[in-house]
Amino acid sequence: MLIRKLLTHERPLFVAHLKRLTPSDRQFRFAHAHVSDDVIDRYVAGIAMDDLILGCFADDQLAGAAHVAFAGDLAEVGVSVDPDHRAQGIGAELFRRASRWARNRHAERLYTLCQTDNRAMIALAVKLGMVIHRESGTAEAFLALAPPDLLTVSDEVSVGMNTVFRDWADVMRTCRGVWLPTRT
């Protein structure tokens, strides 16, 4: 599996991923009932250019994603994983990378909102050391973030470079037939 930042022109992959979620999964992801395709289209269209969308690719498809948005010193994260790829640590890894990205941009706290019956997200928040406040059917989870350091920045850079090299290798494999004559 490959986890990397989605580029602006790849946002349709994020839309398709969110639309593949079942109605109950959409409710868990958005902490809101009746999330239609139109709501998803408007949500993704409204994502700021400086927000982060991380994607986890498996079987040549976006299997999971995390969206990080800023509000002052607070970074809000939302995570979703396709049902066929759950219980493989994808959500936790997306959340960890989103946390590192927010930390490297000087966010002081990470925040996520979910429904109190979203046991998977609550368990993930607890596992990551988040403080959870439950009220009226929703749960808010907060994590204090340390300032960036050399390790967090270099880790982000190395992951980015790995992505560049993987993309380059993929292009080379694709173009090989164009550049080199095929044997008959």
Tokens 């999964």 map to which residue?
A: 25
Count other Cβ atoms within 10 Å, centred on residue 81.
25
Q: For residue range 91-112, what is the model confidence (pLDDT) as tens digits?
A: 888 988 888 888 888 888 888 8
Q: Is residue 181 part of a domain?
A: no
Contact in structure between 50 and 67 (CB atoms under 8 Å)? no
Average pLDDT of the residues in 31-59: 87
Domain membership of residue 51 as a residue range: 2-174
Q: For residue range 6-35, what is the model confidence (pLDDT) as tens digits?
A: 888 889 999 999 999 888 888 888 877 788
What CATH number should be reported for the domain holding residue 29? 3.40.630.30
Q: Is residue 184 part of a domain?
A: no
Q: Is residue 85 part of a domain?
A: yes
Q: Is residue 126 part of a domain?
A: yes
Confidence of residue 181 (pLDDT cuts 50, 70, 90): low
Q: Is residue 183 part of a domain?
A: no
Residue 168 has pLDDT above 90, yes or no: no
Total domains in the fold of the chain: 1
Q: Is residue 180 part of a domain?
A: no
Question: HSE (CB half, 13 Å, CA atoms) of 160?
Answer: 10
Q: For residue range 63-84, what is the model confidence (pLDDT) as tens digits?
A: 999 999 988 888 888 888 988 8
- Using DSSP's 3-state secondary structure scheme, residue 83 falls into helix
pTM: 0.77
Q: Is residue 165 part of a domain?
A: yes
Q: What is the pLDDT of residue 125?
A: 84
